[in-house]
Structure 1
Amino acid sequence: MATETISPETTKESGAQTSPSSPRSSRKKNRRIILIASGIGLVLILLLIFFVAGRSKEAKPIVVTVEKAAIRTITQVVSATGKVYPETEVKLSPEVSGEIVELPVKEGDVVKRGQLLFKINPQLTRTQVDQAQAALSAAKAASLRAKAEELRTAEEFRRTEQLFKQKLVSETEYLAAKTSAEVAKANAEAAIYDVQRLESQLKQAREQLSRTVVTAPINGTITVLSAKVGERVVGSIQMAGTEILRVADLSTMEIRVDVNENDIVNVKIGDTARVSIDAYPNRKFTGVVREIANAAKTKGLGTQEEITNFEVKIRILDHNGLLRPGMSGNADIETFTAKDVLTVPIQSVTVRASESGMTAEELSRKREEQVRQTDGSAELINEKMRQQQEKADRAKLLRVVFVKRGDRVQMVPVETGIADNAYIEIRKGDIKVGDEVISGSYRAISRELKDSARVILEVPGAKK
């Protein structure tokens, strides 16, 4: 068996032949590693870009304020503005025309019932009284003559009748005597009636004379004086007379306010009212509703600004003589009180569409956009159809409250009850005592907030 012997030279040659292939293989491996690492880095960079872009697209949190739902006692209030008036005020005009000759009072004077207020020149009416008296005297004299004539003709007729029965006078003489007696009797009766007529005229003339003197009908204060001595005024017997003055009882004052037709159904006689007078900004007066008008007062009839109100008279109980007629004020009428009910701030309750969650403003913009996309057919949409669409949109609106859950809000549909100036009763809805409800801002509640929107609490003193 032969044994092959490998010489050192042969070994060197083969080593020389294999050594060039090893560096090339290493370089290829290094390039593959670099490419793989570059790909992984590129993917990471793209993922980072996408993540940052996604974070930037996410809506910024809405700045809000919150207040906790709580159990409170609230009183429903109907507010209205008006003017202060005396409960009793008498406008005085003369019943007879003429010149004012006496006016012993001035504005602000306190007068008693029966006290002289003013006097009209009585000369003309006194003359009329004298004429009526003279006419009555003449009528009474004529009545006496007629009565005497009646007695004379009656006696003559009696004698003629006896003679006629004895056939001593003719029938013609008998009938003439009878006629004369009947005429005399009628004249006597007419004279009596004439006396009664003239007595009535004299009484009327005397009443006219007495009306030239005007006295205070009530105890009160002269609140208005619009005439002076020497002025001629028109009487009120046949037309609207000249107003001379007004007497008012300032011990009982009231404020007359106009209550909207939507609120008047809640107001009752006897309801308590808190009255604020502009002249006394730091004081509240207590009042009670004493009268509610049955007929409405309408302003702007037939226009878009048409308003229907009812006048309500509120007696002010504790004015202590501080009020003057004509002062402006505001009355908060307490119509109903609910004790120990769940309440939230009144501004927290807003409206959203039941299906889409859109605000009323967004629904309005959507309607306008639909009209613009009708390509000229908008002219076919008349006012009635527009109103019907608005009515349908309003029917979709729900009352909702936004409740803070963590860093987001939940839109909770609610059923509300009565409200006062600050809080409103929650009758139904997924709200519990202590829940943080969104109470501001108005823009956030009415326009910006949606269900599950991110929110952040407003920092007190931070710039908005």
Structure 2
Amino acid sequence: MSSATSTSRRILYWGGGLLAVVLILGGIGWGMGWIGGEDPGLSIETERAERRTVTQVVTAFGRAQPEVEVTISPDVSGEIVALPVQEGDAVQKGDLLARLKPDDYQAQLDRQRAQVSQQKAALAERRADSVQTRRTYQRKQKLYDKGVISESEFQDAESAYRQAVARLQSARYQVESAKASLQDAREQLEKTRLYAPMSGTVSKLEVEVGERVVGTAQRAGTEMMNIAQLDRMEMEVDVNENDVVNVESRDTASIEIDAYPERTFQGAVTEIANSARIENQGSQQQVTNFPVTIRVLGDPNAATASTRESGGISRPEVPAREMGGPVLRPGMSGSVEIQTETVDNAVAVPIQAVTVRDFNEVRSGTSSDSSGAKASRGEDLRKVVFVAEADTARMVEVTTGIADDTHMEIRAGLDEGARVITGPYEAVSQDLAPGTKVQMPSEEDEGSEQVVAASQ
């Protein structure tokens, strides 16, 4: 009896264990998809190809600067004794900007005037000598013709006359030279006063009253101040060598200044440099950019410059009446979006939907990991999109055009309304192949995802 009971227990134990193993294996098989249904396919995200306006944009960064800015440097050296302008003052052409101590130049002018008088006196003396020697020469010539005097005496008189004429001519030249020196001294004295060469704003002031400045005759000279026309501003930006080929003169641009994030200025490309700026040349971090100049359309600083009641600075004793500083100041940094090309009513898809496939691999059905076979037959890379049809992905070769921040123009290969696969990124860039089984979201889910993305 006990033997039968023991046998029954063993059977129950073995049966329970076997049942547990079967249940575990069944669970694993169900979870892995081996049991209880087919593979649902790769979960994807899709969007419809639609017609829209696509604008290609080149983004660059740079700084604002006046279109016209003049650096004022003195022609002569000296001490600044008057400086009737301040940085930010509006000036008119011909206004006095600064005055240097004129004492040395006035003394030089007085010396040159005295020199001219002295040379004129010497000229008068030479002229009298010339008249006297001419008379002597003429008298000796008559006597020589009559045979009264010898030939040597006549030749001495002739030589004396010619020397007197030469000294007279030299005296005339000395007077002309003294007059030129006088004019130069007068100009040097006038250069101790610096006047505005154009109307504008004192954008930078580098000196103070009492400082000594060096004239441009001595190397570069001292840069005293800058005068700029702030009603005509521009941006100079660095455009990468890969993007500059798309930029053309008169392309429109949107300008955002870091100091005014809520305001957008409009501009147009006016100049594209032919020579590049190369940073970190010869290293792996080498960057090649081309300077591009963009004019800010309109007057960004209208009615903001400080002015004086009488206009300009003709009355320096009257304090400036501030009307607010310029909005766009020289040196302000910002970003520029240059609209290089626009296509209206273009069939467009999200940028992430366009990928590249090697058609040699697609034809042979090999994986991109087989590097040996890949190297032996070469590559045939083409741009494609994957279209979701029912539960299958279909690969479509496309010809692309320009792109904006989110969408790319499709010029050939795809019709409006096609449901293209946009994600996940790894699936689009690597996993998808012609005929891949996919699991699409419903039209409602797709629409709600697009609305959420748009709101963000």
TM-score with structure 1 length normalisation? 0.76
Aligned CA distance change for structure 1 residues 107 and 206 (closer, same or farther; 3 Å): same
- Quick one: distance in 2 between partners of 1:160 and 1:60? 137
- Quick one: distance in 2 between partners of 1:312 and 1:185? 67
Map 1:438-449 to 2 at 5 A: 438-449=421-432
Structure 2 unaligned regions, length at least 5: 1-21, 302-326
Deviation at 1:49, TM superposition (A): 10
Deviation at 1:456, TM superposition (A): 3.9
Q: Could you report, residue by residue, the CA deviation over 1:398-440 in whole angstroms, capped at 9, with x for unpaired residues?
A: 22222222233233222211222222211222x2111112233
Map 1:159-178 to 2 at 5 A: 159-178=139-158
Deviation at 1:284, TM superposition (A): 2.0
- Quick one: distance in 1 between partners of 2:277 and 2:249? 19
Q: Corresponding residue for 2:122? A: 142
After superposition, the CA RMSD in angstroms is 3.1
- Quick one: distance in 2 between partners of 1:413 and 1:249? 54
Map 1:243-392 to 2 at 5 A: 243-318=223-298, 320-321=300-301, 322-356=327-361
Q: Corresponding residue for 2:320? A: none
Q: Corresponding residue for 2:410? A: 426
Deviation at 1:251, TM superposition (A): 0.8
Q: Could you report, residue by residue, the CA deviation over 1:243-287 in whole angstroms, capped at 9, with x for unpaired residues?
A: 111111111111111222233233222221121222222322211
Structure 1 unaligned regions, length at least 5: 1-43, 371-388
- Quick one: distance in 2 between partners of 1:366 and 1:110? 73
Q: 3-state SS of the aligned residue for 2:360?
A: coil
Aligned CA distance change for structure 1 residues 109 and 62 (closer, same or farther; 3 Å): farther
Map 1:21-420 to 2 at 5 A: 55=33, 61-318=41-298, 320-321=300-301, 322-356=327-361, 396-420=380-404
Deviation at 1:142, TM superposition (A): 1.2
Aligned CA distance change for structure 1 residues 106 and 53 (closer, same or farther; 3 Å): closer
- Quick one: distance in 2 between partners of 1:115 and 1:327? 28
- Quick one: distance in 1 between partners of 2:45 and 2:333? 36
- Quick one: distance in 2 between partners of 1:327 and 1:216? 25
- Quick one: distance in 1 between partners of 2:423 and 2:123? 96
**Residues 62 and 333 of structure 2 are in contact (CA less than 8 Å); yes or no, is this contact kept in structure 1?**
yes
**Residues 91 and 200 of structure 2 are in contact (CA less than 8 Å); yes or no, is this contact kept in structure 1?**
yes
Deviation at 1:77, TM superposition (A): 2.1
Q: 3-state SS of the aligned residue for 1:263?
A: helix
Q: Could you report, residue by residue, the CA deviation over 1:343-388 in whole angstroms, capped at 9, with x for unpaired residues?
A: 1122322223232269xxx97x876xx7xxxxxxxxxxxxxxxxxx
Q: Corresponding residue for 1:37? A: none
TM-score with structure 2 length normalisation? 0.77
- Quick one: distance in 2 between partners of 1:448 and 1:87? 54
- Quick one: distance in 1 between partners of 2:338 and 2:419? 31
Q: 3-state SS of the aligned residue for 2:119?
A: helix
Q: 3-state SS of the aligned residue for 1:82?
A: strand
**Residues 285 and 318 of structure 1 are in contact (CA less than 8 Å); yes or no, is this contact kept in structure 2?**
no
Q: Could you report, residue by residue, the CA deviation over 1:75-94 in whole angstroms, capped at 9, with x for unpaired residues?
A: 22222111111111111111
**Residues 417 and 425 of structure 1 are in contact (CA less than 8 Å); yes or no, is this contact kept in structure 2?**
yes
**Residues 296 and 311 of structure 1 are in contact (CA less than 8 Å); yes or no, is this contact kept in structure 2?**
yes
Q: Could you report, residue by residue, the CA deviation over 1:34-90 in whole angstroms, capped at 9, with x for unpaired residues?
A: xxxxxxxxxx99x98997697369988544432211122222222211111111111
| 2:436 is the alignment partner of 1:453 | yes
From the CA coordinates, give the structure whose radius of gyration is larger. 1
Look up the equivalent residue of 2:139 and give its one-letter code.
R
Aligned CA distance change for structure 1 residues 454 and 147 (closer, same or farther; 3 Å): farther
Look up the equivalent residue of 2:341 and give its one-letter code.
F
Identity of aligned residues (%): 42
- Quick one: distance in 1 between partners of 2:404 and 2:204? 40
- Quick one: distance in 2 between partners of 1:407 and 1:177? 128
